[in-house]
Chains A and B, each alone.
Chain A
């Protein structure tokens, strides 16, 4: 699966502003970003639901349209309410019947935790149950690539855990999975690789560890004690400086060097060194700032 220089605008809004992305067979990739970052548009381009204004999208070496026609792709779209007057079983069976090599319907229902609900009408389900139906619909055709747009948005904690267990089981069969989320922990816990997207561009790409180190792997905090922040940004290892109350928080990719420099300056009051969480990394990557200052990484193909 590959995307090259894809651009898509809606009126004056550049939803996707030049995305390059390659995903190898069997990978599980998280597309992480805030609301409006361009995740859904990227997914719509991938599925051929939208045409890019420029750039190129290929699935299995073919156009998205043809890959979808050949039954190699399954998807769970973010929008879409329950259709009326059809049962869960009927809906999943129908979708399965459109694919050349579908999963047995009972298995698709089981994977999505819907076995007991097969005879229920989909328009009578709760939000979380309907979300599981959409997962079953995505799986039903036994596709090689499954694309899930914010698959856990309406699920409670337990359903969420069950969902990820099913998703990982599906990935283990050698299938490729791409899912979008704005939950950092979900991306870290369930994907081999995290692609962070912001303002329609990819701002980080790699394992959870790499994404963290892109923005500085450690956080060094200390009390300013009334002194300013001048010069802190240029200390060795420091990637960014943030002030919260009277505390300075330095993001650093070399905590030893940063701490040594602070020792030299005698600024040790309340010193604290911690691992940056992925949440920190995510926030740092998606802060509002001009494009040229943003941390960018060369394209990496796994």
Chain B
């Protein structure tokens, strides 16, 4: 399976679309959002908040895009070809999830690097380490969501669905603009969305405390929902190859 992951990671990182959307765009948006307009007292805090938000956004995009790849491979007969190798179907799905966990890293690291180097964000060493770790682990529900889409839909549908979901979740989760700016009712909803919970892991870290129990519970809930979505999609596609 190591060889499978290596092959899939290479294939993903060679995709210019993937690199631009998952790493290039978030960095660019981060630098724009934090450097346009007048610098005021809140600027330093906003640079940190936006850094976490955009790293989360990039990681999320990289995670769901695994689904587009799966749908594409399915239409090309690649998954059928894998079925006549000694690899087990389970290893294929797992390999894909592991691949995705590798390919989300550039998205996280480039935005954090931009924060530290270009925007002068200063955190303790442990905060950087925990930040990378939590943002990395926290992508799992979104990877599962992407896998579910990939096994259920055509490459085109999966792609559109992934991008639409990504944008929607990013906006309502406060990854682009803080949810403090939302009207009260929307804010209440936003707090229970998966992307917000995900970014909250990072914001808690930059604030120097552990994430709240609600945040963790919300994320575990979404993990369960997307996990079963991935499993049922995979089963469904296995029945109709």
Chain A residues proximal to chain B, CB less than 8 Å? 47-50, 68-71, 73-75, 77, 79-86, 90-91, 93-95, 97-100, 137, 141
Contacts and interface: CB of A to CB of B under 8 A. Distances in A.
Contacts of B14: 85
Q: Which of B3, B11, B12, B84 has the most CB of A within 10 A?
A: B84
Nearest to A147: B84
Contact of B7 (A49, A90, A141): A90
B73 interface: yes
A69 B88 contact: yes
A73 B14 CA distance: 31
Contact of A49 (B73, B88, B241): B241
B86 A71 contact: yes
Contact of B73 (A69, A79, A83, A141): A83
B80 interface: yes
A141 B86 contact: yes
A49 B78 contact: no
Contacts of B241: 49-50
Interface in B77-104: 77-78, 80-81, 83-88
Contacts of B88: 69
Interface in B14-62: 14-15
Contacts of A81: 76-77
Contact of B3 (A47, A50, A97, A137): A97
Nearest to A68: B84
Given A86-B10, A86-B11, A100 B80 contact: no
Contacts of A71: 86
A181 to B, nearest CB: 19
A86 B8 CA distance: 9
B200 interface: no
A90 B7 CA distance: 7
Nearest to B72: A84
Contacts of B192: none
A99 B7 contact: no
B177 interface: no
Given A49-B241, A90-B7, A99 B81 contact: no
B86 A68 contact: yes
Given A80-B77, A84-B76, 16 more contacts: A47-B84, A49-B84, A50-B241, A69-B86, A70-B86, A73-B84, A74-B84, A80-B80, A81-B76, A83-B78, A84-B11, A84-B72, A86-B7, A86-B10, A91-B7, A94-B7
Task: Specify which of A47, A70, A95 lies most central, judged by the most chain B CB atoms within 10 Å of its CB.
Answer: A95
A81 B79 CA distance: 11
Contact of B86 (A48, A75, A80, A100): A100
